[in-house]
Chains A and B, each alone.
Chain A
């Protein structure tokens, strides 16, 4: 081996070693005993709130520094999955109900049962943070509901009273017609969406998307069919744009450019919308969802309630410290900071008003979002949902476009969900 070659080899191995070393020193404990933790989230609007919470923890535990990192929703899951595969998950991260079962059931998340003060969280919040085995794999972070956003000016022009808790589906239809006749604007904008669309109507009618044990679909149930038929049928009215319209114009965009009078919106978007459309502030408000006037069962009231949780990887190196941080995030103090930042409604029961208080400076009454927790329904989920989610929404589009009639379409949805779920529950 010539000297040159030996030198080259040495140089290469130094480079490689340096590369490996820098990769490893990314996180963890530094020489002075400070622990640096990473905290991954996807919503940039909540960054300040999350940082405030972390700072509050650091104030009490100066040796723990937490860095909040924001990744966009789409990248978030690609990155987290890759990180889970290589055992390099962030120390703390948000978990969503869409994905929690996949992570929890495959042993990627640490069991958090020992740090959650279950008496302070609703059953829905706890269920949204649980794996299929019923154990808690996250600390409940927030909870949400869906409300009816409406344009006050259009109601005034049409001489229709604003929506309130007495409203039923019939009022929704008649108000939409009256507004369309008087102003030429669209009424209630019903479009192809699950959480902000048909799910709510299905549960109001007394139906459900999945059977009670979440192992099979329930699309062929008469009550479910009733809700689906009513919701999908709304687009046949002149006052509701068809699905082609929504393919190009999001209902929110249509609403805030004053093309339509009503749409369903999740509470998590309200603050951003107030900030993004300053000219519209004062022209709109929110109400509880209208009830089904003649439900097959139940009282006709329902709204979908989802919730995020804070989680950590099953093999975290600083498990004790991370769990202590998570415990703080789930405590009254941590949840209060979150609520007061306007980020989201705290999952911690009794702190809902901290979120409502954020809206004091705006002419809008968001109390209805809190009131609806009394009859809220847990967001639909089972372990196979990633597989059937987009196929069900494709089928819904085919019903909208007339390619499938309603009963064939619902039958197809039933089969899609059952087939995908069978792999997990048999």
Chain B
């Protein structure tokens, strides 16, 4: 048996002591509540935090509910609307912000600004902009588009706002990725006569793909979990509510409005599974396009 030296044993203990706050925090604030949520999803909630185990009842009720499937589709549809367009625009903005232009820092700040503003404030302002009767968009268009109350376009409207508020953050991440690309690659390419567009597709895109992958994963998770924006834009007196209600919105209404915490936990577990599956698929697919070679 090999005896570990006193120093390394103490070192290991000290290491644990140093990370203890984080580990304890994680256990108390994340992992334990998660386990409790799983338990709650198999229980019927009563007032004031008491639960009664009821097996699969919540899940059976959930899978039979049209409202639930509608909310699931709404969340997926919201992803389809926001993620591809949003990430593409963020990449475009990142490339433009990387170019040598006057007041570049100011532009970077401006694009990042929506991320700093509270989502509630963003939604309030956009709600006025999209107002059917008195909104600026309809008065410019001279139309009477029901942006927020027409069931077929309400999520598109929310998606526009979501993209607008996320572009800056994603662009800054991508920008840092772009700035890590060695200038010599571009020099060599231009000596070989490659155009700017060719340089973008053959140098920038492959080299920034690891960052792009991270951005994509984060954006997909955030979109599947969307709540605050839709909650603020589509209030509970809106007839288009069921067409805009995301999974997390449904969760909020079930748990905090109706006090149905057990059923709401089942919705959360479903959302976690959904996000897990989507993320796994992304990791499986990354080999095809993400380039980790420098």
Chain A residues with a Cβ under 8 A of chain B: 2, 4-5, 8, 78, 81, 84-85, 102, 105-106, 108, 191-193, 243-249, 386-387, 389-391, 393-394, 397-398, 400-401
Contacts and interface: CB of A to CB of B under 8 A. Distances in A.
10 nearest CB pairs, A to B: A247-B238, A244-B149, A401-B239, A85-B49, A397-B239, A106-B47, A386-B259, A390-B257, A248-B131, A247-B149
Interface in B21-78: 47-49
9 contacts: A102-B259, A245-B133, A386-B258, A390-B253, A391-B258, A393-B236, A397-B237, A397-B238, A401-B239
Given A192-B237, A397-B241, A400-B239, A244 B146 contact: yes
B240 A108 contact: no
B10 to A, nearest CB: 7
A244 B17 CA distance: 58
Given A106-B48, A108-B48, A397-B237, A248 B259 contact: no
Contacts of A386: 257-259
Contacts of A192: 237
Q: Is the interface of B mostly helix, strand, loop or mixed?
A: loop
Interface in B210-265: 234-242, 253, 256-260
A2 B17 CA distance: 14
Given A85-B48, A106-B48, A243 B236 contact: no
A2 B146 CA distance: 72
Nearest to A241: B133
Nearest to B254: A390
Contacts of B257: 386, 389-390
Given A248-B149, A387-B258, 7 more contacts: A2-B10, A84-B48, A244-B240, A245-B132, A248-B133, A386-B257, A389-B258
A393 B14 CA distance: 58
B132 A248 contact: yes
Q: Is the interface of A mostly helix, strand, loop or mixed?
A: helix
A386 B235 CA distance: 18
Contacts of A193: 237
B3 to A, nearest CB: 17
B146 A390 contact: no
B49 A249 contact: no
A354 to B, nearest CB: 34
A193 B239 CA distance: 13
A348 to B, nearest CB: 31
A78 B239 contact: no
Nearest to B10: A2
B138 to A, nearest CB: 11
Nearest to B257: A390
B127 interface: yes
Interface in B67-120: none
A2 B6 CA distance: 10
Nearest to A107: B48
A251 to B, nearest CB: 10
Contacts of B48: 81, 84-85, 106, 108
A193 B259 CA distance: 21
Contact of A191 (B10, B130, B237, B259): B237
B200 interface: no
Contacts of A8: 17
B166 interface: no
B289 interface: no
B13 interface: yes
Contacts of A84: 48
Interface string B118-150: 000000000100111110000000000010110
Contacts of B146: 244
